[in-house]
Structure 1
């Protein structure tokens, strides 16, 4: 081999070696960088999903507060406290009941409506009074934007009561009496469920003056003492007075007969199909609370409701369990809202 051919061969060997080293370097760099661009994006998506799953699994990490829209000792407060203990056991964090009274419940509703939507601040308020608070009392919140979490109690409504010695025995008697005299009726508040019951009675021809009192017990006592002709009261307020023989229950504003007053007909039964509502005692979360947090809370409330301590507490107070998960609870809320919206101009507010 001549000298020229020898150097040509050496040149090709060196070139081949260079190409092989370059190719190996690119391969190693690709491996170190995590693969192709598409593979990198896939890895990033997987990491994000794992991160979201971790965030979901850590809820709750601190105490949960249930804000009650009434003072301590009332039916709404007792409903919240009946489940707080069992719920605490299920969630594994403290569950605190906070009473925020005022403006017929609207202060508490506005407070939770504007709270951080993280699942740690919940609202305990009944419906349809929440819709009444917004549409009639102009509360600073939107009922339809609250996130339904869980309903505990239902099959409850208002009852129409008269003094035990009254000659009025039925709704027909009440209508007839109102045609010859101006009747006076007691109730609890002006933008409340009892005020809605008063509107129902006016719709069927019971002409009367509605007199609002501060609380349900005081209102019912006015009937027992004969200071008014009749009253619209909660079941709980009426039950003890009826057992003492101080009042008679002549009808209810419920959608079906109430178990504690099985002989009292509903207005619906009496021929007024649109005049009935049911008071539901449930839990709400602020607008835009993440769906996964709502699901965790709803499942936790459901499990807590299966604790015997919850049922025993409900029975002591006189509540009837009616378990509704978020979707069912939302449907009932929507129906009540439309009812109140239709009748809102008939509420007597100053």
Structure 2
């Protein structure tokens, strides 16, 4: 489905659908005043914008489980999926402002959807609570028997024979944006093929249907370690400290980075005292909970990392500015 048609569908869904869990257009002052001091006194509904089993879901559910202990109330995960997170974000951006519905997403989707035209809003339509973790990075991978030893080899080969190298992406997502940056910023001339989500991109690469792709390190790890795949670098803006031998693509091509961070948002207008309380609770889980540390190092190959409300806003603006440099090529 084309991005423009998908955007129309999202608008229809948002107008015709309002999930009971979040409500629509709730009382703006429900969490205001003294009620903020008593927050929370009932379960919190955490909307997860991506499907069960993926990295956004994994990180959100881990946070929800440990946040319960910190807040003294259940934090109930609820997956509302579709259109790279846009369906959930559209439905809940104007939801109840009492702090009892929060949204867990990833920044590549939140920011990228606006840059591609899938959404007409971004982080500014919400109250950012925290960026609370980071992905190990999409790895640009090829089969181990490919002639490309590094990213420059791959890019230069595509320039010499435009369209001859098939590069697997998921249309509209962060890896698609990276492919546009490779084209417009560094002159790579791949035959970009929509091969779906990370699992399907990996299958397509292993099966020889594409010559290169971008896959999260957590998904490619066993194939890299067994010698079936070669990583040419990550799409992180800097190397992962836990994976120091894998270079960042931006070391060679400064514009080529798509950082995927995990973020928690609240509907616009949520009581600042509630947002602050949630932010502090998340910060405490990330910085002080040993179970959290062990899990994210195992899954994300990253040390625990969290940003304050203002730091989160600054990072989201930085990512949006970066993507919007390529907006005219993405829509």
**Shorter chain as normaliser: what TM range?**
0.7 to 0.9
TM-score relative to the length of structure 2: 0.84
* Equivalence for 1:46: none
Q: CA deviation at 1:82?
A: 1.0
Q: Secondary structure of the residue that 2:328 maps to in structure 1?
A: helix
TM-score between both structures, scaled by the size of structure 1? 0.79
Question: Highest Rg: 1 or 2?
Answer: 1
Gaps of 5+ in 1: 1-50
What residue number does 1:327 align with? 310
- Distance in 1 (CA, whole Å) between partners of 2:191 and 2:39 is 51
Q: Is the 8 A contact 1:222 1:228 kept in 2?
A: yes
Matched, 1:298 2:279: yes
Say whether 1:248 aligns with 2:214.
Answer: no
Q: Which deviates more, 274-283 or 104-113?
A: 274-283
Q: Which of 38, 46, 60 pairs up with 1:58?
A: 38
- Report which of the two has the higher share of helix: 1
1:111 aligns with 2:94: no
User: Is contact 1:164-1:224 (8 Å) kept?
Assistant: no
Q: Quickly say closer, same or farther: Cα 1:242–1:208, change in 2 above 3 A.
A: same
- Please list the CA deviations of residues 172-225 of structure 1 after superposition, one character each: whole Å capped at 9, or x if unmatched: 2112321125210112x2111111221222221221121122320110222222
**Distance in 1, Cα, partners of 2:66 & 2:156:** 50
Please, which of 76, 80, 83 is the counterpart of residue 100 of structure 1? Answer: 80
Q: How many residues align?
A: 296
- Residue 323 of structure 1 aligns to a residue whose secondary structure is coil
Q: CA deviation at 1:319?
A: 4.6
Report the Cα offset of residue 155 of structure 1. Answer: 6.0
Indicate whether 1:148 and 2:128 are aligned: yes
Give the whole-Å Cα distance in 2 for the aligned partners of 1:167 and 1:260: 27
The farther-off stretch of 176-185 and 60-69 is 176-185
Match of 2:147 in 1: 167
From the superposition, tell whether residues 258 and 226 of structure 1 become closer, same or farther in structure 2 (CA, over 3 Å): farther
Q: In structure 1, what is the Cα distance between the partners aligned to 2:228 and 2:213?
A: 13
Answer whether contact 1:68 1:99 (CA < 8 A) is retained: yes
Per-residue deviation, 1:345: 2.5
Match of 2:166 among 164, 180, 184: 184
State the partner residue of 2:181.
Answer: 200
After superposition, the C-alpha distances for 1:324-346 in whole angstroms (9 at most, x for unaligned) are 11111110000111111121222
Q: Distance in 2 between matches of 1:316 and 1:252?
A: 18
1:261 to partner: Cα distance: 4.0
Quote how far apart the aligned CAs of 1:53 are: 5.5
Matched, 1:130 2:110: yes
Residues 325, 233 of structure 1: alpha-carbon distance in 2 compared, 3 angstrom cutoff? same
CA shift for structure 1 position 295: 0.8
Conserved 8 A contact 2:174-2:258? no
Q: Does the 8 A contact of 1:175 with 1:206 survive in 2?
A: yes
Q: Does 1:235 align with 2:217?
A: yes
Cα RMSD of the aligned pairs, angstroms, is: 2.0
- Residue aligned with 1:128, SS: helix
Distance in 1 between residues matched to 2:130 and 2:179, nearest whole Å: 29
Contact 2:136-2:217 within 8 A present in 1 as well: yes
Structure 2 unaligned residues grouped into runs of 5+: 1-30
